[in-house]
Amino acid sequence: MLEIKNLHVKLEEQDKVILKGVNLTVETGKVHAIMGPNGSGKSTLSYVLSGRDGYEVTDGSALLDGEELLEMEPEARAAAGLFLAFQYPVEIPGVGNMTFLRTAVNAQRKARGQEELSAGEFLKVVREKAKTLKIDAEMLKRPVNVGFSGGEKKRNEILQMAMLEPTMCILDETDSGLDVDAMRLVADGVNALRDGKRSFLVITHYQRLLDHIKPDVVHIMADGRIIQTGGPELALVVEQNGYAEILKAHGIAE
């Protein structure tokens, strides 16, 4: 379970305040979506949770299963079960995808006090997961993300997510958005990984992703706060009417 309380964040070495008291609880096994106009602080929230540099937390807390994330190094957050997708779609020429994945998985296992997987054990697990996610194992032999299409990068990221076995997955669609095929892939991957124990926070500017990933709860974020929370129907309201009405009701200029 992720419990964010009164989270205030500003840019480091600048006066700009971005998050102005975020309160959000994602219960175990649930899928929560955050929607909101551009610039409302959605990506900042995901970066701060994952421990990216450049932000200063001035107040509040973020507990993952009772542990304070904000005091942990990024690697420790990952070991605690947090996974942020779509953050670094890096290309690593010369490093095979399989090697990259195995290194990441074993670093994580070590941090969790588990034994490392042998090459054979790893191969077995990765093949199983690839099969579940309908990913061609051929992709595993190529260098990380080099020459991958947008869809292949997304597929690869979903596979990384599956291999690291996070309990709390944050997906930030980012402003560039996904094309319809990539969106489908992401949605299918998330749905395949939903198991009643793993939680998801799906951040999206548009409603369409939520046609495929059915959220339990939808939040609207604006001006650094969650201003409204509802069920899946809230996403449909936003799709039809835009944000104007909700923003106006909260005295926020568009």
Out of 38, 88, 120, 240, name the contact with Mg ion by CB under 5 A: 38
Contact region with ligand ADP (CB under 6 A), list: 31-39, 78-86, 180-188, 230-238: 31-39
Interaction between residue 177 and Mg ion (CB under 5 A): no
Interaction between residue 116 and Mg ion (CB under 5 A): no
Q: Specify burial of residue 203 (Cβ count, 10 A radius: 0-12, 13-18, 19+).
A: buried
DSSP β-bridge partners for residue 35: 220
Contact string (CB under 5 A) for Mg ion, positions 41-80, x = contact:
-xx-------------------------------------
The continuous run of DSSP H or E covering 241 comes out as helix 233-241
The count of other CB atoms within 10 Å of the CB of residue 201 is: 27
Q: How far apart are CA 82 and CA 89, in angstroms?
A: 17
The count of other CB atoms within 10 Å of the CB of residue 142 is: 15
Interaction between residue 97 and ligand ADP (CB under 6 A): no
Interaction between residue 176 and Mg ion (CB under 5 A): no
Q: How far apart are CA 235 and CA 207, in angstroms?
A: 6
Which residues ranging from 161 to 190 are in contact with ligand ADP (CB under 6 A)?
Answer: 175
Interaction between residue 40 and ligand ADP (CB under 6 A): yes
Residue number with CB closer to ligand ADP (135 or 186): 186
The residue count for the chain: 254
Interaction between residue 227 and ligand ADP (CB under 6 A): no
Phi/psi of residue 164, each to 5°?
-85, -10
Interaction between residue 54 and ligand ADP (CB under 6 A): yes
Interaction between residue 108 and Mg ion (CB under 5 A): no
Q: Specify burial of residue 56 (Cβ count, 10 A radius: 0-12, 13-18, 19+).
A: middle
Q: How far apart are CA 160 and CA 100, in angstroms?
A: 10
Out of 71, 175, 179, 181, name the contact with Mg ion by CB under 5 A: 175
* Minimum CB distance to ligand ADP, residue 181 (Å): 23
Interaction between residue 44 and ligand ADP (CB under 6 A): yes
Interface ranges with ligand ADP (CB under 6 A): 11, 18, 36, 38-44, 54, 175
Interface ranges with Mg ion (CB under 5 A): 38, 42-43, 175
